[in-house]
Amino acid sequence: MSVSQSVTVRVPAKVNVQLAVGAARPDGFHDLANVFLAVGLFDEVTVTPAAELRITCEGPDAGQVPLDGTNLAARAAVALAERYGRTPDVHIHIAKDIPVAGGMAGGSADGAGALVACDALWGTGASQVELLDICAELGSDVPFSLVGGAALGIGRGEKLTVLETGGTFHWVFAMAEGGLSTPAVFREFDRLAAVADSEIPAPVASPELLAALASGDPDALAATVSNDLQPAALSLFPALADTLAAGRAAGALTALVSGSGPTTAFLARDAVAARRIAEALSHSGTCRAVRVAAGPVPGASVL
Ligand code: C5P
């Protein structure tokens, strides 16, 4: 087999414009109303026939990426191979641009990317429904990495409804020094809820937020974004408050923690304002790196 049989898939990061979190379920997960927006920060996953499954990774955060069977990209290849009765004999190379452990679904992106790439390489002919099933087994955010655009995820976040968007939203993302573990942030959410001793309402998507997305109006979206994990992320990583304040001071329409963090997200009125906010944040001394990205963008796509 020749290298020309390689398949490369580009797959985006996400920001949660609403993350409503319910009480812990008996299985340890939390019911969510999770409004995802795919944004233009991408990993590229390339699969090439090989003697056996192996993973390599390049990029600024590559050193933090596990290169064993726990990597979601490896698990995706194994899951698809098992379903189609073949061996996952591929070299998976990840060109990583999405921050690692950042709350932007970088690991999920690689899982969805490897799944789509192996599906194309092996010509399995799996349906979208089958691929989404495998994604849901791999992780709560993986189905969204496959579909991209904008979507509401309920259940663990894996049951998706595609959402309309009326325009492009311009964002600035500030990467923090270090990462946060998603399970640790959910545990902190549970701890804070126990301390507050108040009833946690069932999570529901905000009609005002869905209308704002559909309108494409950044001011309307800024007025309606919310993240129930933000207090937990701030409790574990208090310095994020300084980053949020720096972005607000620089003119962001709103500032929030992205998913479980510690990446912070800043909504700008347009591309010019985004560049201005990014410039101010990069000189604020409150973050490791700053990126500008717009969304929605498509999900996992074969290049
Ligand atoms: O589904 P995924 O493997 O990405 O989830 C990682 C962890 O995040 C879970 O083990 C759980 O601790 C937490 N989680 C949760 N409720 C969700 C999604 C994730 O508690 N809906």
pLDDT tens, 165-192?
999 999 999 999 989 999 999 999 999 9
Which of these, 161, 159, 42, lies nearest to 104 by C-alpha position?
42
Q: Are 259 and 140 in contact (CB under 8 A)?
A: no
pLDDT at 75 over 50: yes
Nearest CA to ligand 1 atom 15: 29
What domains can be seen in the chain, in order of their start residue? 7-164 (3.30.230.10), 169-295 (3.30.70.890)
pLDDT at 222 over 80: yes
pLDDT, the chain, mean: 96
Which of these, 158, 208, 274, 191, lies nearest to 17 by C-alpha position?
208
Longest Cα–Cα distance of the chain, Å, equals 61
162 pLDDT band, cuts 50/70/90, is: very high
Query: Is the beta carbon of 32 within 6 A of some atom in ligand 1?
Result: yes
44 alpha carbon to ligand 1 midpoint, in Å? 24
1 pLDDT band, cuts 50/70/90, is: very low
The yes-or-no answer on residue 96 being catalytic is no
183 alpha carbon to ligand 1 midpoint, in Å? 6
Region at 35 (left for phi over 0; alpha for psi -120 to 50; beta for the rest): beta
3-state class (DSSP) for residue 121: helix
- For 167-206, b/e burial (b = at least 16 CB within 10 A) is ebbbbbbbbbeebbebeebbebbbeebeeeeeebeebebb
The yes-or-no answer on residue 14 being catalytic is yes
pLDDT at 4 over 90: no
136 alpha carbon to ligand 1 midpoint, in Å? 11
Q: How many CB atoms neighbour CB 59 within 10 A?
A: 18
What pLDDT shows up at residue 81?
98
What pLDDT shows up at residue 198?
85
Nearest CA to ligand 1 atom 9: 183
Q: What is this structure's pTM?
A: 0.97
Dist CA 144 CA 38 (whole Å): 8
pLDDT at 228 over 70: yes
2 pLDDT band, cuts 50/70/90, is: very low
Q: Which helix (H) or strand (E) holds 74?
A: helix 72-83
pLDDT at 3 over 50: no
Query: Is the beta carbon of 139 within 6 A of some atom in ligand 1?
Result: yes
Least confident of 195-199, 257-261, 285-289: 195-199
141 alpha carbon to ligand 1 midpoint, in Å? 9
Q: Select which of 43, 61, 119, 141 is catalytic.
A: 141
264 pLDDT band, cuts 50/70/90, is: very high
